[in-house]
Chains A and B, each alone.
Chain A
Amino acid sequence: MVKNSFIFIVLIGVAAILLNLFADFNGNTELGTIAAHYASKGIEEVGSANLVTSVVVSYRGLDTLGEVTILFLSAAIVGFFLKVDNTDNKNRQLKYTSEILNTASQVLVPIMLLFGAYVFINGHLSPGGGFQGGAIIASGLVLMFIAQPKKEMGHKMINIIESVSGVSFVLLGVAGVLFASGFLDNKILSLGKFGTLFSAGIIPIIYIFVGLKVGSELTGIALSLKENQNEA
């Protein structure tokens, strides 16, 4: 009872703070100075048809590097705490999976992997990008884990893909310092024709690496959790 009234008091406090914010809010009719610069100059400076991508990868590329690093850290921590000892792996007993799940996964998994690759390769043209594509690829692989729990998949290849793409991402950023105007600048390659696949400098290449890195990290987390299951 005391606990409930305490929760109620906290809720009233939060509501009072939010009410203040809500009373002051009278929607912006025009963009702020930085946002206006991104919106008006973004196309000629970055050359990406998807303005969100030009902000995420080029103007705020360092933030993306930070996000990828945080995801890497959490994946590493999950892998560290869920280390599998292969000694009792022999007497693992797995549940039977249904025929519907099995058949559906055989149809859906290749399509999901292809769609994920499409999303991150076309990140500078259509909505989506490295994170989204990587998450779609990881969902496809997790569907495969659920449908075929007996199938073994090594951590080694996932780790290699993840490290290589992470290092390449940073090296491309350093190449921006050497050959263009700054860290993660996209004008190492020419901007190309606006709206085509080979445009926007190195944004497509960076997004391919981000997609592979995010996909392998999320798959690694799910794989560690799957290997720890013992469904008797």
Chain B
Amino acid sequence: MLSIILALFLGILILVLAVMAVQNKNIVVAIIAAGAVSLFASILYLVLAAPDVAMTEAAIGSGLSTIIFFYVLNKIKRQNG
């Protein structure tokens, strides 16, 4: 029962963060929200008893891809002005 409540809470949080990542005008905030989606998704996978997937999601989704987005954002900013 507790895990269902936790899963529902995490699901709503992920939805809110995903809408924030799409709608926010500030790209830095959007990238961090997208990373947070992955972070909470990895906790959700752990609650749903899939630790293998949770590890991949935490390392690649919220760690590496966020940093790659920032590198690309920085490069685009420099080229445009």
A residues apposed to B, CB below 8 Å = 52, 119, 127-129, 131-132, 135-136, 138-139, 142, 146, 218, 221-222, 225-226, 228-232
Q: Which residues of A contact B59 (CB under 8 A)?
A: 132, 135-136, 138-139
Q: Which residues of A contact B60 (CB under 8 A)?
A: 135, 218
Question: Which chain B residue shows the least CB distance to A129?
Answer: B52
CB distance from B62 to the nearest CB of A (A): 10
3 closest cross-chain pairs (CB), A and B: A135-B59, A127-B51, A132-B55
Check B78 against A230 for contact (C-beta < 8 Å). yes
In Å, the complex CA distance between A122 and B40 comes to: 25
Mind listing 10 A-B residue pairs with CB under 8 Å? A128-B51, A132-B59, A138-B64, A139-B59, A139-B64, A142-B64, A146-B67, A222-B64, A225-B72, A228-B75
In Å, the complex CA distance between A129 and B64 comes to: 18
Question: Which chain A residue shows the least CB distance to B61?
Answer: A135
Q: Which residues of B contact A146 (CB under 8 A)?
A: 67
Q: Which of B67, B71, B78: most chain A Cβ within 10 A?
A: B71
B residues apposed to A, CB below 8 Å = 51-52, 55-56, 59-60, 63-64, 67-68, 71-72, 74-75, 78
CB distance from B27 to the nearest CB of A (A): 16
Chain B interface mostly helix, strand, loop or mixed? helix
The contact of B63 among A128, A139, A228, A231, by CB within 8 Å, is A139
Chain A interface mostly helix, strand, loop or mixed? helix
Q: Which residues of B contact A228 (CB under 8 A)?
A: 71, 75
In Å, the complex CA distance between A164 and B55 comes to: 26
The contact of B74 among A119, A132, A138, A229, by CB within 8 Å, is A229
Q: Which residues of B contact A136 (CB under 8 A)?
A: 55, 59
Question: Which chain B residue shows the least CB distance to A131?
Answer: B56
Question: Which chain A residue shows the least CB distance to B71?
Answer: A225
Check B63 against A127 for contact (C-beta < 8 Å). no
- A132-B52, A138-B59 provided; 7 other pairs, C-beta below 8 A? A119-B55, A127-B51, A129-B52, A132-B56, A135-B63, A138-B64, A142-B67
The contact of A135 among B64, B74, B78, by CB within 8 Å, is B64
Q: Which residues of B contact A232 (CB under 8 A)?
A: 78
Q: Which residues of B contact A135 (CB under 8 A)?
A: 55-56, 59-60, 63-64
In Å, the complex CA distance between A136 and B64 comes to: 9
In Å, the complex CA distance between A226 and B55 comes to: 24
